[in-house]
Amino acid sequence: MMRRKLFSIGGTAVYLHLATLLFAAYMVLLGHGGVLGISMLSILLHEAAHAAVAAVFDKPPEEIEVTPLGAVMRLEHEAELPLCRRFLMLAAGPVMSFSLCWAAILLTSWSCISDQTGRLMFCCNVMLLLLNLLPALPLDGGRMLALLLGIWLRQETVCRVMRITGTVVGLSCIGLNLILSLRWGGWNLSLSMAGCFIMYSAAVGTTTQAMAELRMLMERKIRLERKGALACCWLTVVDTLPLRRAIKMLHASRYTMLNIVELGSMKRLGTCGEDTLVATYLNESCGSCRLLLREEVCEKR
């Protein structure tokens, strides 16, 4: 296990990736403990703003993981939010970073914090704000752009546009890093690393819907396995329910057993686990739950 659970806030679990401790020790040894502390706090507040708005809309994140690259929020039900609310949830992070920039200015002018701390706080949040507003996935700016484009364009076109945009932004970051390094010396590869990450995300983050669903199901399986012994829950579905809808009804944090009944008579036809549902869906995504009643995949009564 490379991560440990710290605490829970409501229904949101907060985890710490153990590599974060090694990264923190490395930064402290280099004398950058202050930068690390302010940066991590700014990132956590940025993600907390996303989580708070999602919770207000009754879609709190399942978990938040603190990693060496910042905080990662897992929000499985984001797609269920209406467009306006989803846009507000995405914009909450940049708004928080902008607010922290103003807070740094005000706290410094009021002598509540030292000038050095204020400069660090301001610079960290300006960089975080500008980076997240870049129009590339998986950054907030890219996600908001994809959301707006989805109003007028087909999903396949949106994916193509975001793939091109991400590649251009990534190459621009790498080129800018090289120009700055040649002009002022000192090979700081941070911007180039960010550019490579953006280009990679542009390639893998705009896959087809089928590949996205497969990745989501695999991530769910891995997440459930990490939790060890799991409580199960029962889900009763009619035999005519589309498999696509049944997949979306799986419990977020529990292994789900399906009880299949006949439409109309409500007679129980059989049971199966979510593994069977997932396997059948991946083979015949347009089918109904009646496919789960096959003798080889469903335990009939």
- The model's pLDDT over 136-145, given as tens digits with 9 standing for 90+, comes to 887 889 889 9
Instruction: Please check the confidence at residue 209 and state whether its pLDDT lies above 60.
Output: no
In the chain, the percentage of residues whose pLDDT exceeds 90 is 15
33-39-43 Cα angle (round to 5): 145
List, in order, residues 6 or more apart from 66 with CB less than 8 Å away.
6, 14, 15, 16, 17, 20, 40, 44
List, in order, residues 6 or more apart from 201 with CB less than 8 Å away.
136, 137, 138, 166
Q: Which residue has the tokens 């799991």?
A: 230
Average pLDDT over residues 255-284: 86
Helix runs in the chain, H state only: 19-29, 33-56, 83-109, 115-132, 140-152, 155-184, 190-204, 209-226, 243-248, 274-283
- Are residues 199 and 166 in contact, defined by beta-carbon separation less than 8 angstroms? yes
Instruction: Please check the confidence at residue 196 and state whether its pLDDT lies above 90.
Output: no
Phi-psi bin for 128: left (phi > 0), alpha (psi -120 to 50), beta?
alpha
Dihedral over alpha carbons 197, 101, 89, 4 (to 10 degrees): 60
Residue 205: which pLDDT band, with cuts at 50, 70 and 90?
A: low
Locate the domains of the chain by residue range: 1-132, 134-206, 217-300
Q: What burial letters (b/e) apply to 128-156, b meaning 16+ CB within 10 Å?
A: bbebbbbbbbebbbbbbbbeebeeeeeee
Q: How far apart are CA 109 and CA 105, in angstroms?
A: 6
Residue 88: which pLDDT band, with cuts at 50, 70 and 90?
A: very high
Average pLDDT over residues 163-179: 88
Average pLDDT over residues 196-210: 64
pTM exceeds cut of 0.85: no
CA 192 to chain centre: 23
Q: How far apart are CA 206 and CA 169, in angstroms?
A: 15
- The model's pLDDT over 221-256, given as tens digits with 9 standing for 90+, comes to 776 777 666 778 888 999 888 888 888 788 877 888
pLDDT at residue 1 in the model: 54
Q: How far apart are CA 113 and CA 197, in angstroms?
A: 34
Query: Which structure tokens are listed for 62?
Result: 């399942």
Residue 295: which pLDDT band, with cuts at 50, 70 and 90?
A: very low
- The model's pLDDT over 31-78, given as tens digits with 9 standing for 90+, comes to 878 888 888 889 889 988 988 898 888 888 877 887 766 677 777 667
Instruction: Please check the confidence at residue 299 and state whether its pLDDT lies above 60.
Output: no
CA 29 to chain centre: 31
In the chain, the percentage of residues whose pLDDT exceeds 70 is 86
pLDDT at residue 108 in the model: 93
Ranking 25-39, 151-165, 203-217, 265-279 by mean pLDDT, the lowest is: 203-217
- The model's pLDDT over 12-30, given as tens digits with 9 standing for 90+, comes to 778 887 878 887 887 788 7
Average pLDDT over residues 202-230: 64
- The model's pLDDT over 113-160, given as tens digits with 9 standing for 90+, comes to 899 899 999 998 998 899 889 898 878 898 899 889 888 888 778 878
pLDDT at residue 301 in the model: 44
Decide the pairing of beta strands 268-273 and 70-74.
Answer: unpaired
Residue 213: which pLDDT band, with cuts at 50, 70 and 90?
A: low
Residues forming a β-bridge with 242: 288
Query: Which structure tokens are listed for 98?
Result: 């902008």
